[in-house]
Structure formats: structure tokens, C-alpha cells
Amino acid sequence: MHILASRDMTSVQLTFVSFPKGAYAKKVGFLRSSLGAFFKNDDRFHQHDEEGKLHYRYPHVQYRWDNERGIVLGWEESAQTLRDISWTELSLPMESVQRPVVEATIYISEGLFGVSDRLERYLLETPVLLFNQNNYRCFQTMSQSEKRIEQDRLLVAQLLVALRGLRVDFPERLYATFGAVSVAPCRYKEQTLIGLFGDFVTNAWLPDGFSFGHAVSHGFGWVRRISERTTS
């Protein structure tokens, strides 16, 4: 593997006295809105400017939910910011109930990015959102072979967008293709969007916890590398 960059990365797992019920997106939404309101003067936590307009950039603070714990992940400067917060002193409103943080486990790491000499396989821990309303309407009219090509095209494009968002320049042609993949309806901002679940292979070396696609700050597109390697 040829290493391209190393990026500071912090993941904070939060355990609450009680946690909100409901689907994954709902719980992530509660966590994101609560912390976004608590840190309202820091737009990294909520991705909106002073006028409430959305920042179109790769989010360096991202929210997830796993094993009954909320997860907040930070990249680069945001990674250090997360380490400096006194998490167990927070009590966050979720579903109109104050939920104190009773335990916070902080994981500090360096996310390595590189060009692999072989194809690496990654599992999507959460569905990746590659489609918007316009390109999904077009996608539905395609043949099965055309759909496969379009899925892989969007996969490559969104991987490159996320890499650029972390200032990682991929100097070679990035290759990526889905393996076993299924369609998953996903709730995002009161809309039902189409996500893709499954695995993919690529010649990019990506760290566990990396995410790509639309709405990564809401917990979508989260990947984990599978140790088994696939030759090209």
C-alpha cells in the first residue's frame, strides 16, 4: 500500500441513563439535534451558517448510533475538539426528556488513506445514500446492466467527494464496484430515500469509520474494511 495521508480521528461512544426508542435514523437525529443545539455557536456540530443555510461540505463532525450508544466522530481539528469536551457533564434533551451522559468512551486514532496494490473489500455498516430525487428517477428507467454501471459510477464519484473533503488527493484512477448489494429505504429529513446496503471493493485504502455519500453527518455511508483481501 502507498500511504497518501493520515488524518486525526476521534470517536466518542456515549451511554445515556436511557436512550430514545425508534429506528436508527430517529435516534441519530435526536443525538445530532441535541448536540447541534448545545454547540450552536460551532457550525461543525450542525452544518448551518448564522442564517440557517446548510454548508455544502464534507462534515468533520458526524453522528451515529450503535449497540444502544450514541457515537460522535470527529476528523482533523474536530477530533481534538471532541477530546476536550467534558462529556459526562452533559445532559441532552431527547424526546422532551433530559438524558444525562453516564459514560463516555473516547477512541483516538489516525485514519490512514492510501492506494492499495490490490482490491480491498469494505462492508457498509449503514446504507449509503448515492441518489437524489432526480438521478433516482432516471435510474429507475435503466436496464439491470445499466443500473449496475450507474451504481458503480456514483460509488466512485461519492468516494472521491469524501476523500477531497478530508484533503486526500487520490493520484491514480480510483476503481470501485459493488459486490452483493441490496436496496434499503432510509428516512432522512422527513423524506424516504433509497440507500444501498452491502459491500464493495476498491483500490483505495480507507480507515474503519470513514463514511461517504449524502448525509454522512446523519450516520449514513459508514464503512468497515473486511480483512479478507480480493485480488484484482
Residue 17, pLDDT above cutoff 90: no
> What does the pLDDT read at residue 232?
42
> What does the pLDDT read at residue 231?
42
Own/partner pairs for 134-138, CB < 8 Å, 24+ apart?
136/194
> What does the pLDDT read at residue 5?
97
The pLDDT-based confidence of 120 (bands split at 50, 70, 90) is very high
pLDDT tens per residue, range 44-100: 998 876 666 777 789 999 999 988 899 999 999 999 999 999 999 999 888 888 899
> What does the pLDDT read at residue 19?
77
> What does the pLDDT read at residue 72?
97
125 phi and psi angles, rounded to 5 deg: -70, -30
> What does the pLDDT read at residue 52?
66
- Displacement of CA 26 from its chain's centroid (Å): 16
Q: Tell me the mean pLDDT in the region 100-124.
A: 96
Handedness of CA 18, 28, 195, 207 (dihedral sign): negative
- Displacement of CA 83 from its chain's centroid (Å): 19
What does the alpha-carbon distance between residue 178 and residue 95 come to, in Å, rounded to a whole number?
37
Q: Tell me the mean pLDDT in the region 185-203.
A: 87
Among the residue ranges 111-115, 185-189, 217-221, the one predicted with the least confidence is: 185-189
Q: Which residues are CB-contacts of 169 (< 8 A; sequence separation ≥ 6)? A: 4, 163
Among the residue ranges 11-15, 147-151, 188-192, the one predicted with the least confidence is: 188-192
Q: Where are the alpha helices (DSSP H) in 51-101?
A: 77-84
What does the alpha-carbon distance between residue 31 and residue 94 come to, in Å, rounded to a whole number?
7
Q: Tell me the mean pLDDT in the region 115-131.
A: 96
Number of H helices, E strands in the chain: 4, 8
Q: What is the mean pLDDT of the chain?
A: 91
What does the alpha-carbon distance between residue 79 and residue 191 come to, in Å, rounded to a whole number?
30
What does the DSSP 8-state code read for residue 48? Answer: B
Question: Residue 52: left (phi > 0), alpha (psi -120 to 50), or beta?
Answer: left
> What does the pLDDT read at residue 132?
82
Q: Which residue has the cell 451515529?
A: 64
Q: Are 138 and 231 in contact (CB under 8 A)?
A: no
201 phi and psi angles, rounded to 5 deg: -120, 150
Looking at residue 125, its amino acid is E
Q: What is the pTM of this model?
A: 0.91
* Extended beta strands in the chain, E state: 2-16, 61-66, 69-75, 91-94, 97-124, 176-188, 191-205, 223-230
What does the DSSP 8-state code read for residue 217? Answer: G
Q: Which helix (H) or strand (E) holds 23?
A: none
> What does the pLDDT read at residue 24?
86
pLDDT tens per residue, range 149-184: 999 999 999 999 999 999 999 999 999 999 999 988
In this prediction, what percent of the chain has a pLDDT beyond 70? 96
Which domains, ranges and CATH numbers included, belong to the chain? 7-109 (3.30.70), 113-230 (3.30.70.1900)
> What does the pLDDT read at residue 49?
67
DSSP β-ladder status, 91-94 and 176-188: unpaired
> What does the pLDDT read at residue 204?
98
